[in-house]
């Protein structure tokens, strides 16, 4: 089994606004680091080389990111112990405060690639019920289910 993740946000400005340049101009760099990271399996890609073009809502400033990792430890290492961590620290520069959880994790079978709709469903489940074996967080993890 592997760990899937979705993270979402509502950008403060349109992606082509100069105030978003620090985020947009580094997407390819951060994605390349993810792909070279130990435990990386897959990431969602829309038009171009990232997922910013994938729209799940009518809100043009709502963006998503999804990936699959060997396990939560590999994801956590990428998120906090690579250059990505600097972008996490600057999240408020580019993203509005999010009213609920903006990250959800869940276990998937090896080779499974979750859809954006599945990711959004898991995020909503986490918001409605709190962490569970169906949707959890890096700080409140659930063990890999027996298969």
> For the segment 19-73, what is each residue's pLDDT rounded down to a tens digit?
999 999 999 999 999 999 999 999 999 988 899 999 999 999 999 999 999 999 9
Asked if residue 94 lies in contact with residue 104, where contact means CB atoms within 8 angstroms, the answer is no
Asked if residue 90 lies in contact with residue 99, where contact means CB atoms within 8 angstroms, the answer is no
> For the segment 7-34, what is each residue's pLDDT rounded down to a tens digit?
999 999 999 999 999 999 999 999 999 9
H helix runs in the chain, sequence order:
21-24, 27-36, 72-81, 84-89, 91-94, 116-129
Cα distance between residue 95 and residue 61, in whole Å: 9
Q: Model-level pTM?
A: 0.93
Residue 94: other Cβ atoms inside 10 A = 21
């Amino acid at each position: 089994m592997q760990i899937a993740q979705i993270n979402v946000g509502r950008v403060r400005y349109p992606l082509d606004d100069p105030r978003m340049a620090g985020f947009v101009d580094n997407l390819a760099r951060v994605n390349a680091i993810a792909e070279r990271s130990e435990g990386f399996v897959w990431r969602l890609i829309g038009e171009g080389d990232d997922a910013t073009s994938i729209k799940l809502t009518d809100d043009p400033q709502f963006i998503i990111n999804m990936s699959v990792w060997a396990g939560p430890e590999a994801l956590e290492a990428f998120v906090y112990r690579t250059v990505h961590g600097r972008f996490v620290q600057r999240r408020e520069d580019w993203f509005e405060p999010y009213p609920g959880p903006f990250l959800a994790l869940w276990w998937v079978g090896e080779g499974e690639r979750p859809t954006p709709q599945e990711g959004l469903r898991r995020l909503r489940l986490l918001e409605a019920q709190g962490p569970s074996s169906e949707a959890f967080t890096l700080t409140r993890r659930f063990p890999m289910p027996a298969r």
